[in-house]
Amino acid sequence: MRSLIISGRSGSGKSTVLHALEDSGFNCIDNFPASLLVQHITREASRPGEEAPDLAVCIDVRNSPEQLAALPTYIEQLKADEQAPRLIYLDASDSVLVKRFSDTRRRHPLDAQFSVLKDAIAHEKQVLDPIAEIADLRIDTTNRTLHELDTLTKERIAGHSSTEISLLFQSFGYKYGVPIDTDIVFDARCLPNPYWREDLRQFNGLHHRIKVFLDESAVVDDFFEDVCRTRDGYM
Report the C-alpha gap between 184 and 28 in whole angstroms. Answer: 31
Same domain, 194 and 141: no
Same domain, 167 and 224: no
In a domain, 75, yes or no: yes
Give the C-alpha distances (Å, rounded to integers) separating 234 from 77, 87, 156, 184. 31, 24, 20, 11
In a domain, 86, yes or no: yes
Q: Which CATH number is 128's domain given?
A: 3.40.50.300
Report the C-alpha gap between 85 and 76 in whole angstroms. Answer: 10
Same domain, 212 and 149: no
Same domain, 193 and 160: no
What pLDDT does 176 receive?
A: 85
Classified as helix, coil or strand, 181 is coil
In a domain, 105, yes or no: yes
In a domain, 53, yes or no: yes
In a domain, 228, yes or no: yes
Same domain, 19 and 128: yes
Residue 90's H or E segment, with its range, is strand 86-91
Q: What value does the mean pLDDT of the chain take?
A: 91
Mean pLDDT of 80-99: 93
Same domain, 229 and 131: no
In a domain, 58, yes or no: yes
In a domain, 33, yes or no: yes
How many domains does the chain contain in total? 2
The mean-pLDDT minimum among 39-53, 68-82, 212-226 falls in 39-53
Per-residue pLDDT at 11 exceeds 80: yes
Per-residue pLDDT at 93 exceeds 80: yes
Same domain, 153 and 197: no
Report the C-alpha gap between 58 and 31 in whole angstroms. Answer: 5
Same domain, 136 and 76: yes
Report the C-alpha gap between 80 and 170 in whole angstroms. Answer: 35
Same domain, 156 and 127: yes
Same domain, 98 and 139: yes
Q: Is 9 exposed, middle or buried (0-12, 13-18, 19+ CB in 10 A)?
A: buried
Same domain, 166 and 213: no
Q: Read off φ and ψ for residue 13, nearest 5 degrees.
A: 115, 15
Q: What is the pLDDT of residues 160-213, one digit of tens each?
A: 544 456 688 888 888 888 887 788 899 999 999 999 999 999 998 889 999 999
Residue 29's H or E segment, with its range, is strand 27-29
Look up the domain containing 56 and give its range.
Answer: 3-173
Exposure b/e, 199-221, CB count within 10 A at least 16 = b: eeeebeeeeeebeebbeeeeebe
Report the C-alpha gap between 83 and 75 in whole angstroms. Answer: 9
In a domain, 178, yes or no: no
What pLDDT does 164 receive?
A: 54
Q: Look at strands 3-8 and 137-140 and give their pairing.
A: unpaired
Same domain, 97 and 192: no
Q: What is the pLDDT of residues 129-170, one digit of tens each?
A: 999 999 999 999 999 999 999 999 998 888 854 445 668 888
Residue 23 CB-half CA count within 13 A: 12
Mean pLDDT of 117-135: 95
The number of angstroms, rounded, from the C-alpha of 48 to the middle of its chain's C-alpha atoms is 33
What pLDDT does 161 receive?
A: 46
